[in-house]
Chains A and B, each alone.
Chain A
Amino acid sequence: MKLFSKERPEIPIVHHTKEDGSAWTIKEKLWLGLSVAEYKKQFFRNPVNWFMLMIFAIGIPLILGRYAFGLGWVTHASNDYPWGLFLGFGLFGMVPLSASGFMLGTTVELFGRKDFHSIERLALLNGLLGYFFAVLFLEVDLGMPWRLPYPMFVSLGPAAVLFLVAWHVATYLSVQIAEVLPAFFEWIGWLKGKRIIRKYVLGLTVAGIILSTLHQGALGALFTYAPAKVHPLWVSSNFQWIHFFVSSIFGGLSMVIIASTLIKNYMGWRCDDDFKNNLDYVTIGMAKGASLAMITYLVVKLVAVAHDQEWTYLLTGWGSYYMLELGVAVVLPMFMFAFGVRNNWVTLIRFGAFIAAIGIIWNRLNTALVCFNWQMYQEIPHWKEVWITVTIYALYFLTYRFIVYRLPIVYEWKGER
């Protein structure tokens, strides 16, 4: 894209009309104002795309195979480990990293911190896509994916935690679609739609907080169904939901920092000055918030160990692993954030965010797989399961990029708004 944006002043598209006063059609907007040949050229110039194609070449047949031959064909079909990577990574990992939407929505719309405005849309999009793909992961993992609406409409089991997760993720997904739609409406030029949503923004934001608190927590509470299976250090009937909720706060913020860093470095042509100039400032702000959440998290973790009288476990091998996780995944990035905030060292914050996000996934995988059945054997996922997981994540990446390339997410629409 860099290639063309230099030569052609009207690219990237930020306005309904071209230089000469005629309007861009939706089709042209979709092609980024390039001709098909130009589009292809820029697509194949990018080594990332080749890498993606490679993943898909094997991953898509595997996914088709999963639907044709059953879950047993791509996983180890374990009855001891009913949940594998699809949920361990795709649901339990993706959802906390997508808490960004409600975090920034709250900051900007509810607390009136307009200074974070430039990152709000990216945070909302990050949230929406994360949830959407978590549901996709779920659709790969469910035994009968065609029955996805059953818990909503066919046979209700409202006493179950998963019932709450299902309802809340579904509702929250719609809330997030509504929150991202204004960007889409600007882009297609349907301002009425945008105004309608604008009216409900406060309601949507408050709904977002409630739904997020509950389902982020509920994902944790799911493991309290297995108090004797998950290692006691990773499960606590009293605090599990708080652990999952609080860690989703810094997880979501870290993910936005990562996304914005990648966008700034590899999609500079798409960002406007407002986004670029404010980025360091908002990154520092988000790091501040994240480090506070991390402190809270560490305290609640400690309280849980004390409350459940688990000190002796800390002296075992599992205890060391637990300390390692907390040290690398939380304490280290927390200090990086704190130090970065104090010294305005944004690069350090960005690395910290990267570690924190991986750390969240590590924690969720620990809870769902590594420390699950801790008195039994360890389940190593089947390679096909790993490949499918990577494939869906790659699809997530491409969709993310596709949207940021086009919609006014990291730039402001210059046409009517």
Chain B
Amino acid sequence: MKKLNRRSFIKGGLATTAAAMVVKEKTSAASGDFDNYPEGMGVIVDLTRCVGCRSCEAACNKEQDLPEPAVPFDDFSVFDHMHHGEKRRTDETAYTVVNRYDTPEIDHPLFRKIQCNHCNEPACLTSCFVNAYTKTPEGAVIYNAKVCVGCRTCMVACPFYIPTFKYSSAFTPRIMKCIFCYDTRLKNGQPPACVEACPQEALTFGRRKDVLKIGKQRIRETPGKYVDHIYGEHEVGGTAWMYLSSVPFDKVGFDTHVPKEPIINSVKEFLAMVPMVLTIWPGLFVGFHLLATRKDKVKEMEKEAELKKAKENDEKEEQV
């Protein structure tokens, strides 16, 4: 065993090269070739138009066959519901919720609808180790419950706290999240149920690049009405659902600290290091091994040499 077995060394080397190749594929996939379907659809949500009627919530509930809500959709007391000091969020019974924000800047409350933002480079997708998520060319981020293992990394990764888990189920748990009404509508070019249900036209559906233009136009044409920012244009690499607001976004519950780049970029540092370790480590440590055991080996060789000499001497003596 002491002797470095050359064959096993080569075999090991091969295995790691093979592994390195696999990983190379990995990193290139991680750099996000799936992003930016240019014709993808999007929605712009105009907070100044939303009146908090919760019609979108009701429409989504129906469209997605979600369970009957504990509080009916025409009950507005839900806006005062707080959980751990937080406003309502999506859960396994609701893919979208509307929350009320009272801000000192203006004399009336603002309402914000949340749902999946259908990111261009979705964190949920890039973090999932069984590829349960797909970004479709239409712009939707959909989910395949058949392969999901339930590790909930996607929930950790989503910067907007959108995916939720069906904790209540022992045998058929799954991730529950807005899918842009992909199966029933988006696929056929129809707008999602919530957009269609909105009586105020607070939600505008169209190609992402078109609704982005509409948003910019509104900011330009009504100076002073909006803050000069479209939330989702650049946040985490851009999202299909974007927001317009009349007050700074952090006043109405938006996380303005999310990175401008896709979430996967902060993981790249590690992913880039993987092939390096795979290729350099084996040689490095086998080298260390040879160095570290060299003394032993030298000793061994000396001993052998001595033995040989002794033997020769013996033989010589015998001859003599």
Size range of the chain B interface in the assembly: 35 or more
Contact between chains at B127 and A106 (CB < 8 Å):
no
Contact between chains at A207 and B12 (CB < 8 Å):
yes
Contact between chains at A156 and B89 (CB < 8 Å):
no
Q: Of B16, B26, B123, B149, which one neighbours A142 at CB under 8 angstroms?
A: B149
- B38 at the A interface (CB under 8 A): no
Chain A min CB distance to B268 (Å): 8
Q: Mark B274-318, 1 if CB is under 8 A from A, else 0.
A: 100110011001101100110010000000000000000000000
Stretch at the interface among B61-69, B99-107, B111-119, B161-169: B161-169
Contacts A110-B288, A162-B151, A203-B12 given: A82-B156 contact, CB under 8 Å? Answer: yes
Contact between chains at A82 and B165 (CB < 8 Å):
yes
CA A150 to CA B148, docked complex, whole Å: 8
Contacts A199-B5, A203-B9, A225-B123 given: A158-B26 contact, CB under 8 Å? Answer: yes
Q: Of A111, A162, A228, A241, which one neighbours B127 at CB under 8 angstroms?
A: A162
- Across the interface, name the chain B residue whose C-beta is closest to A148: B149
Contacts A80-B89, A111-B288, A225-B157 given: A206-B282 contact, CB under 8 Å? Answer: yes
Contacts of B130 in A (CB 8 A): 150-151, 154-157
Stretch at the interface among B183-191, B192-200, B252-260: B252-260
Q: Which of B12, B29, B157, B274 has the most CB of A within 10 A?
A: B157
Contact between chains at B159 and A147 (CB < 8 Å):
no
- Across the interface, name the chain A residue whose C-beta is closest to B281: A210
Contacts of A198 in B (CB 8 A): 1
A152-196 contacts to B (CB < 8 Å): 154-166
Contacts of B259 in A (CB 8 A): 227-228
Contacts A156-B131, A199-B1, A207-B12 given: A150-B149 contact, CB under 8 Å? Answer: yes
Contact between chains at B152 and A206 (CB < 8 Å):
no
Q: Mark A104-128, 1 if CB is under 8 A from B, else 0.
A: 0010011111000000000000000
- B170 at the A interface (CB under 8 A): yes
Contact between chains at B161 and A79 (CB < 8 Å):
yes
Contacts of B173 in A (CB 8 A): 70-71, 143-144
- B76 at the A interface (CB under 8 A): no
- B155 at the A interface (CB under 8 A): yes
- A213 at the B interface (CB under 8 A): yes
- A321 at the B interface (CB under 8 A): no
Contacts of B258 in A (CB 8 A): 228
Chain A min CB distance to B45 (Å): 21
Q: Mark B200-241, 1 if CB is under 8 A from A, else 0.
A: 000000000000000000000000000000000000000000
Contact between chains at B170 and A224 (CB < 8 Å):
no
A234-275 contacts to B (CB < 8 Å): 237-238, 240-241
Contacts A158-B25, A166-B129 given: A225-B286 contact, CB under 8 Å? Answer: no
Contact between chains at A214 and B271 (CB < 8 Å):
no
Contact between chains at B271 and A161 (CB < 8 Å):
yes
Chain A min CB distance to B71 (Å): 18
CA A83 to CA B152, docked complex, whole Å: 7
Chain B min CB distance to A377 (Å): 4
Contacts of B271 in A (CB 8 A): 159, 161, 221
Q: Which of B152, B169, B174, B282 has the most CB of A within 10 A?
A: B152
Contact between chains at B170 and A69 (CB < 8 Å):
yes
CA A157 to CA B124, docked complex, whole Å: 12
Contact between chains at A209 and B152 (CB < 8 Å):
no
Contacts of B163 in A (CB 8 A): 79
Q: Which of A80, A213, A222, A224 has the most CB of B within 10 A?
A: A224
- A356 at the B interface (CB under 8 A): no
- A77 at the B interface (CB under 8 A): yes
Contacts of A213 in B (CB 8 A): 277, 281
- Across the interface, name the chain A residue whose C-beta is closest to B8: A203
Contacts of B18 in A (CB 8 A): none
Chain B min CB distance to A121 (Å): 16
Q: Of B128, B150, B157, which one neighbours A157 at CB under 8 angstroms?
A: B128
- B35 at the A interface (CB under 8 A): no
- A217 at the B interface (CB under 8 A): yes
- A376 at the B interface (CB under 8 A): yes
Contacts A111-B289, A206-B286, A376-B84 given: A144-B270 contact, CB under 8 Å? Answer: no
CA A240 to CA B8, docked complex, whole Å: 34
A374-395 contacts to B (CB < 8 Å): 376-377
Q: Of A72, A144, A217, A237, which one neighbours B167 at CB under 8 angstroms?
A: A72
- B244 at the A interface (CB under 8 A): no
Contacts A159-B30, A228-B255 given: A164-B16 contact, CB under 8 Å? Answer: no
Contacts of B25 in A (CB 8 A): 158
Contacts of B174 in A (CB 8 A): 143
CA A241 to CA B274, docked complex, whole Å: 11
Contacts of A73 in B (CB 8 A): 170
Contacts A79-B155, A202-B8, A214-B277 given: A377-B149 contact, CB under 8 Å? Answer: no
Q: Which of A161, A201, A214, A221 has the most CB of B within 10 A?
A: A161
- Across the interface, name the chain B residue whose C-beta is closest to A147: B149
Chain B min CB distance to A25 (Å): 31
Contact between chains at B147 and A224 (CB < 8 Å):
no
Contact between chains at A225 and B263 (CB < 8 Å):
yes
- Across the interface, name the chain A residue whose C-beta is closest to B295: A112
CA A147 to CA B144, docked complex, whole Å: 14
Contact between chains at A227 and B263 (CB < 8 Å):
yes
Known: A110-B289, A162-B127, A203-B9. 10 other contacts (CB 8 A): A79-B165, A83-B156, A143-B148, A151-B130, A158-B22, A159-B26, A159-B271, A160-B128, A160-B129, A203-B12
Please give the residue numbers on chain B whose beta carbons come within 8 Å of chain A beta carbons, in ascending order.
1, 4-5, 8-9, 11-12, 15-16, 22, 25-27, 29-30, 84-86, 89-91, 123, 126-132, 147-153, 155-157, 159, 161, 163-170, 173-174, 255, 257-259, 263-267, 269-271, 273-274, 277-278, 281-282, 285-286, 288-289, 292-293, 296
Jot down 25 A-B pairs with beta carbons below 8 A, ordered by A: A72-B168, A77-B167, A79-B91, A79-B161, A80-B161, A111-B289, A142-B150, A143-B148, A143-B165, A144-B148, A147-B147, A150-B149, A154-B147, A156-B130, A157-B132, A158-B26, A158-B29, A159-B271, A198-B1, A203-B9, A206-B281, A213-B277, A214-B278, A224-B270, A377-B84
